[in-house]
Structure 1
Amino acid sequence: MTAYTCPRCRVSSPVSALTWCCPECRGPWDLDFASEPVSLRSLASRVNSLWRYAEALPPLPCAPEVTLGEGRTPLVPLTASVSAKLDFLMPTLSFKDRGAVVLAAHALRLARAGGLDRVVADSSGNAGTAAAAYCARAGLDCRVYVPGGTSPKKVEQIRAHGAEVVEVPGDREATARAAREAADEPGTFYASHVHNPYFTQGTKTYVYELWEDLGGRLPDTIVVPVGNGTLLLGAALAVDELHRHGLVETRPALVAVQAEAVSPLAEAFHAGADDIAGPAAARPTLAEGIAIPAPPRARQILRAVRATGGTFLTVSEERIRAAQRDLARRGLFVEATGTACWAAVDAAPPRPGLTVVPLCGAGAKTGLAP
């Protein structure tokens, strides 16, 4: 049966429990779930959303009631060797819909079983928006904690979906602490895109879509922005599954991108460390969505990048700003965080073969970087 497990302590918990972290180390859960191989030939006749990869996803009977048609975003060339996956073309205009719909389907299942009264989430904007939208779709009460100074457009979008917004003074870490305190209240489901592994089960469909769009193969390099690492860890999970099932012969390199201003994972990687040394200074950056001083899954992220022969790249504020304007001139208006990968690839020549970068959030959410 599917269960939560702690990768550090090996403690387990049924997924029917509302315990949001390991009771021993307070670390995030993994999911003890074995996917089945997906038949590439069968996909043409399936529903045109991420749920077409049903064999790869945990069983969630509430999914048809929660879906908003997320997934199946376009893959378009930027250069002869670099293509972009337009994940900002999602119902709430960010890739976070991939994980949020899976979390919401799980939460609805728990609510119907009894004992779940509310959903809480914390976010710098996009994950909270996605949680609010899918909770609205599922008919679940939702409260979203955001840092003070979060983009007003994102806050407005969260409220428009009917969620309660709690603005927390301080940085992203202060916001996470406030949400975790609320998550310990009885009857509360913590829809954490970091701590709950159901979210990662959703983000892995990003790579399943690449595999399908490329006719049963994967790019040579997959570049992803990394703050808490939810997209990177989902990508790593999908690559492992596809390789284990014999659906791809080789694994692509995973290249992680951070802003120079807040880059604890890049520093640890290039120092050869297995974990970050401690919380990074929370300096201002245009890439607010990946400005995470102390990612809880740091060890897993570093291990995943090294396992594929990948690396970490960092980008300056100037390059992020320039990349946003460059993409806009190409017809793609993406928020600053979502341009970090293009900024990195544009500055450092990609490896031989096909490189794919994600464009993760719509520029309409934040506007053009000053």
Structure 2
Amino acid sequence: MLAFMTLSAHYRCSRCGTRSSVSSLTWCCPGCRGPWDLDFRAGPLSLEALAGRTGSLWRYAEALPLAGPHCSLGEGRTPLVRLTDTVSAKLDFLMPTLSFKDRGAVMLAELARRLAPRRVIADSSGNAGTAMAAYCARAGLDCTVYVPEGTSAKKLEQIRAHGARLTVVPGDREAAARAAREAAGEPGTFYASHVFNPYFLHGTKTYVYELWEDLGGRLPDTLVVPVGNGTLLLGAALATAELAEHGLIPSRPALVAVQAEAVAPLAEAFRAGADEPAAPAPARPTLAEGIAIPGPPRARQILRAVRESGGTFLTVTEDAIREAQLDLAARGLYVEPTGVACWAAVRAEPPGGGTVVPLCGAGAKTGLAAG
């Protein structure tokens, strides 16, 4: 019988080490306001044991901190397709809500379902909000999503269609996050933060478990990942560490993080050799709205994960994003501007060896980037 973490488990502050029960609705460290990590040790997997299991991310049960599926929509197991001789793309825009955020959202919704709060709130530039709205609908949970003004109309329509309340906040992405955090302190509120709650990261790490399975028990030399708040990158770092710990991969791949040149606080800190950005970046407009995060709360963790993997940071211009979106569309793949950032970064000069890039969100959610 598999052993699953119960709700008597504990959060641990990534900054100061303070602990709190998962059963509480405390969304961040009460002392330093840092994001939570999770005291959880994944069990080993084998390719043979996966045969015949459910065709979703819940097939990796030993590696997940919650048993499932309960509020599942069949998320995960997205295709891996070749773009060049050395670069392949994982089509995470084929998730139920058309973005990779479903991987983490289903974990947060399942956790909330068990905690039975009065309401769930989330903040998002769009994709995380649509994912939380959908999975809360599936779980029968009252949901409110805070988004910044300027969020894609198609994403707002999707959030409303799932029955969530929508609060449009004047200002940028950080303004929406501040408004949600203020509301998170109200009694009976579960803050489904894809940034502060580590269950989200344990959902996104299944991206790498799927690669490991699809590649026959190995990983590519390089994983190229878009980074704003870093939820996919940190999930990838979790998975590669777990697979290495259990001797399931001979070495860990390099993590290459991609940011839009317009808003690149982590890339700048990396190049300066700093542990974290000295200050939030200016909130400049960019087509890659989903990774335009001026001050990521997990900045230290992201920079450390990239350095420990032997990876690096790359930045992409607005013109490169437009060109990459059109190039993928010409190959039959219609992806939103944020979702093409990694292909924009590697299409001219791919890293050596095998490389995988994620295509994270569907073009149908935003349309073509304006020229």
- Mapping of residues 206-245 of structure 1, within 5 Å: 206-245=207-246
Answer yes or no: is 1:66 the counterpart of 2:78. Answer: no
Aligned to 1:91: 96
Aligned to 1:271: 272
Q: Which amino acid aligns with 2:286?
A: T
Q: Which amino acid aligns with 1:238?
A: A
Deviations 1:169-218 (A, max 9, x none): 00011100000001010000000000000000000000000000000000
Structure 2 Cα separation of the partners of residues 269 and 170 of structure 1: 28
Answer yes or no: is 1:10 the counterpart of 2:20. Answer: no
Aligned to 1:51: 58
Q: List gaps (5 residues or longer) in structure 2.
A: 1-7
SS at match of 1:65: coil
Deviations 1:3-45 (A, max 9, x none): 1000211100010000000001111000000110111111121
Aligned to 1:354: 354
Q: Which amino acid aligns with 2:368?
A: L
SS at match of 2:84: coil
Aligned to 1:161: 162
Q: Which amino acid aligns with 2:366?
A: T
Across the aligned residues of Structure 1 and Structure 2, the Cα RMSD in angstroms comes to: 0.7
1:350 Cα deviation from its structure 2 partner: 1.4
Structure 2 Cα separation of the partners of residues 66 and 59 of structure 1: 12
Deviations 1:334-358 (A, max 9, x none): 000000000000133312x210000
Which one of the candidate residues 100, 108, 115 is aligned to 1:103?
Answer: 108
Q: Which amino acid aligns with 2:81?
A: V
Structure 2 Cα separation of the partners of residues 102 and 186 of structure 1: 22
Q: Which amino acid aligns with 1:364?
A: A
Q: List gaps (5 residues or longer) in structure 1.
A: none
Aligned to 1:368: 368
Aligned to 1:136: 137
Structure 2 Cα separation of the partners of residues 358 and 59 of structure 1: 25
Question: Is contact 2:130–2:159 with CA below 8 Å preserved after alignment?
Answer: yes
Deviations 1:294-339 (A, max 9, x none): 0000000000000010000000000000000000000000000000
Q: Which amino acid aligns with 1:24?
A: G
Question: Is contact 2:223–2:255 with CA below 8 Å preserved after alignment?
Answer: yes
Aligned to 2:119: 118
Aligned to 2:28: 21
Structure 2 Cα separation of the partners of residues 5 and 40 of structure 1: 31
Deviations 1:234-254 (A, max 9, x none): 000000000000100111000
Question: Is contact 2:87–2:350 with CA below 8 Å preserved after alignment?
Answer: no
Structure 2 Cα separation of the partners of residues 79 and 8 of structure 1: 41
Structure 1 Cα separation of the partners of residues 322 and 212 of structure 2: 31
Q: Which amino acid aligns with 2:196?
A: H
Deviations 1:218-269 (A, max 9, x none): 0000000000000000000000000000100111000000000000000000
Structure 2 Cα separation of the partners of residues 232 and 339 of structure 1: 16
1:292 Cα deviation from its structure 2 partner: 0.2
- Mapping of residues 155-304 of structure 1, within 5 Å: 155-304=156-305
Identity of aligned residues (%): 78
The TM-score, its normalising length taken from structure 1, stands at 0.97
Q: Which amino acid aligns with 1:190?
A: Y
Which one of the candidate residues 37, 42, 45 is aligned to 2:44?
Answer: 37
SS at match of 2:257: strand
SS at match of 1:198: helix
Structure 2 Cα separation of the partners of residues 96 and 64 of structure 1: 17
The TM-score, its normalising length taken from structure 2, stands at 0.97
SS at match of 1:88: helix
